[in-house]
Amino acid sequence: MFPGIKSIHNCAIGIRTNCEAEGRVLVWPVAIRLRWFWVMRFYFTVHKNLIALIIGICLWANPVFAEKTSHILIIATSNDAPLQEAINGFKQQVSARGNIKFTEMLLSQVHAPAVKQIDSIKPDLIYALGVDAAKWASLQTSSIPIVATMVLKEDVFRQAPNITGISLGYSLQTQFQWLKKFFPQQKTVAVLFNPAENAATVLEAQKAGLQNGFNLVAIPVESPKQLPFALEQLANNIEILLAIPDETVMSVNTAKEVLLASFRNKVPFIGLSDNWVKSGAFYALSWDYADLGQQSAELALKILNGASIKTISPEHPRKVTYTINAKIAEHMKMDIPEALLKNAKMVFN
């Protein structure tokens, strides 16, 4: 017992003894007892809270009970502005969870053997930007989950069981829905494609086109040598030329030829990116790169919180933007609804 409490207790006993000996009514010992009760109660309350505080500090200091810091390796194909916007959006979204450590690398900074670099970093997750970065990551590890974006085709997500992410490609349904907004009266849409690469995609496109009121004319191109003949068919009542990702038909080497045929035949060409629109396509669906990063972060957080990557399917971009080439529209005598011009991400004049 504390000295102060002990003296109060002894005092109460002494007064009680004296009063009983003199035959007087005892008054003060009641007050002293009450004071002693409240002092004891205060003491035990402080004691209990102090013990709880000490236990809490011990648990917090113990790494077993502390929240684990997750380590994310960010590997990018380049440091171009769109990739940096996606990285910033990703980091902002993931950092809200707390206890996240980031290591950023360019693919050009990777030294052989790359596996040793990954082993030294020991990431819990890899965020890969660009098709080359995604392929590199999937070749280096089969156990660390990979979230990838800035890849145009979804084939990369089928290369390994430990990879998922956000492709740049919009669903065919989305593409035809936007075609209908830009071309409410036109019906005939042509697609140039290599059957060895895109036969299944074209079948899916024909179904999506019919569902949205379009007739799809599929023009096969098995090699670049066949492209001039394929482009001559644009003069056969084709109203719109829609690009799909195809290494044979839509490449740096064929772009000028495709754009020139579109311009001469006054068949509006729907490109694959902002650069295609800048070069002469009428419009293209584009991307909000920061939102792509945030959407990727949501997949990453599911994985870091315990979800199996095998249960997380790749996704298309959730936010649709687009760019327009107003000069091409003027050349082809097309009227663009004011609302579409106003809401465009970018308009080339």
If asked whether residues 210 and 304 sit together in one domain, one would say: no
Residue 129 above 80 pLDDT? yes
Shared domain for 182 and 164, answered yes or no, is no
Residue 185 pLDDT level (bands cut at 50, 70, 90): very high
Let me know the angle formed at the C-alpha of 204 by 198 and 206, rounded to the nearest 5 degrees. Answer: 105
pLDDT at 41: 61
- Residue at 316 is within a domain: no
Residues 162 and 176 in one domain: no
Q: Which two tokens stand for residue 280?
A: 């002469």
Q: Are residues 329 and 213 in the same domain?
A: yes
11-25, 85-99, 227-241: least confidently modelled range: 11-25
Same domain, 338 and 249: yes
- Which of 112-125 are b and which e, b meaning 16 or more Cβ less than 10 Å from the residue's Cβ? eebeebbeeeebbb
Highest mean pLDDT among 47-51, 117-121, 272-276: 272-276
Specify whether 221 is located in the same domain as 334: yes
Per-residue pLDDT at 155 = 87
The rounded distance, in Å, linking the Cα atoms of 167 and 244 is 14
Which residue range forms the structural domain that includes residue 23? 3-61
Of the residues 61, 90, 111, the one at which a domain ends: 61
Q: Specify whether 162 is located in the same domain as 177.
A: no
pLDDT of 156 reads: 92
My answer on whether 86 and 199 are in the same domain is no
How many separate domains does the chain show? 3
What is the per-residue pLDDT across 75-101, written as a single tens digit (0 to 9) for each? Answer: 999 999 999 999 999 999 999 988 999
Give the whole-number percent of the chain exceeding pLDDT 90: 73
d(CA 226, CA 193): 11
Identify the CATH number of the domain in which residue 78 sits: 3.40.50.2300
- pTM value is 0.77
Do 177 and 274 fall into the same domain? Answer: yes
Q: So what's the pLDDT on residue 98?
A: 85
Same domain membership, residue 336 and residue 207: yes
Asked whether residue 25 carries a pLDDT value surpassing 80, the answer given is no
Q: With bands split at pLDDT 50, 70 and 90, how would you rate the model's confidence at 181?
A: very high
Same domain for 29 and 163: no
β 283-287/320-325 pair status: antiparallel
Whole-number Å distance between alpha carbons of 133 and 105: 10
The 8-class DSSP code of residue 23 comes to: T
Q: Are residues 80 and 156 in the same domain?
A: yes
Q: How far is the C-alpha of 103 from the C-alpha of 304, rounded, in Å?
A: 16
Q: How confident is the model at residue 20 (pLDDT cuts 50, 70, 90)?
A: very low
Higher pLDDT, 9 or 227: 227
Domain assignment of residue 114, yes or no: yes
| pLDDT attached to residue 115 | 62
Q: Dump pLDDT digits (tens) for 243-297.
A: 999 999 999 999 999 999 999 999 999 999 999 999 999 999 999 999 999 999 9
Closest CA to 279 of 248, 336, 231, 323: 323
Greater confidence, 37 or 110? 110
Per-residue pLDDT at 42 exceeds 70: no
Neighbour count for residue 187 (Cβ, 10 Å): 12
The answer to whether residue 153 sits within a structural domain is yes
End residue of a domain, out of 24, 44, 61: 61
| pLDDT, position 19 | 42
Confidence tier at 68 by pLDDT (50, 70, 90): confident
